[in-house]
Amino acid sequence: MQGYIINVNKARDEDVIVTILTQHNLYTLYRFYGARHGQINLGFKIDFETESSVKSSISRLRGVMQLGFAWIGDRSRLFIWQQFCALFHKHLLETEEIDPFYFELLEEAASIWQTQNPKRIAIESYVRLLAFEGRLHQEMVCFFCEEEITKEITLIRAFLPSHAECLHALPINIDAIKELFESGSSLFLNDKEIEIIWHVLLEGF
C-alpha cells in the first residue's frame, strides 16, 4: 500500500516509530534499523507492507520503497513540505479510519509542489480542509469582539478572521481573504501576506 509519512519518532538505537497516512487509515508502525532498509523521512511518500508481531502491540513496517517527487531534492521545498505534513499528524492523532480526502489533499498538493510557491499551495489546501470539515468561517466577523470586519483584517489559528487592531497584528487585504475563502485561490495575496498566513497555519490545524 502507499502512504505519506507524517511523523517519525526515535525509539531505541536507530529504530523509529512512524505514522503513515494512507487513503483510508492512519498507521503507527515500528521500523527496525538496518543497512539494507530504504531511507525514510518525514514527508516521504512510500510503498510499504505491515507485519504483525506477537511480541508487540505495534506492527512492523516492512518492504519500504520511496516514491519520489521531482522536487524532493530541493531542500527549501522539502522543508516546507515536511512542516505541512507534520500538521496532519497532530490533527489526525488517535484516528485510525479516515476519509480519503486527507490523503488525496496531499496527493494533489505534492503534484504541483514543484511548479508553484509551496506556501501558497499549503494555504489553499488548508482552506479546502477547513471547508471539508465545516470549519471555514466566511463571515467577516471578528472572533474577539464579534463586530463586523470591513477593512483591517487578520487571521488567527484555524483561519478565524479578526480585526487587525484587536490582535495588534499586521493587516491583510480583506478582499484577498474573501477571495481565498470563496474560491480557494491565494492569487490576490501578496508574498508578505502569504508569509503572515503561513505562520498562522504553522500554529496547527
Which domains occur in the chain, in start order?
1-115 (2.40.50), 124-205 (no CATH)
On the CB side of 4, CA atoms within 13 Å amount to: 24
What pLDDT, on a 0 to 100 scale, did the predictor assign at position 54? Answer: 62
Query: Whole-prediction pTM value?
Result: 0.92
Quick: pLDDT tens for 7-50: 999 877 778 899 999 999 999 998 876 545 567 899 999 999 99
Q: How confident is the model at residue 141 (pLDDT cuts 50, 70, 90)?
A: very high
What pLDDT, on a 0 to 100 scale, did the predictor assign at position 35? Answer: 44
What pLDDT, on a 0 to 100 scale, did the predictor assign at position 36? Answer: 55
Hey, which bits of the chain come out as E strands? 2-10, 16-21, 26-31, 45-51, 60-66, 153-156, 160-163
Q: Could you tell me if 172 and 193 are in contact, meaning their C-beta atoms sit under 8 angstroms apart?
A: yes
What pLDDT, on a 0 to 100 scale, did the predictor assign at position 40? Answer: 83
Task: Examine the pLDDT at 140 and tell me if it is beyond 70.
Answer: yes
Task: Examine the pLDDT at 83 and tell me if it is beyond 90.
Answer: yes
State whether residue 21 is helix, strand or coil: strand
Three cell numbers at 15?
Answer: 529504530
Q: Provide the 10 A C-beta neighbour count for residue 203.
A: 10
Task: Examine the pLDDT at 68 and tell me if it is beyond 90.
Answer: no
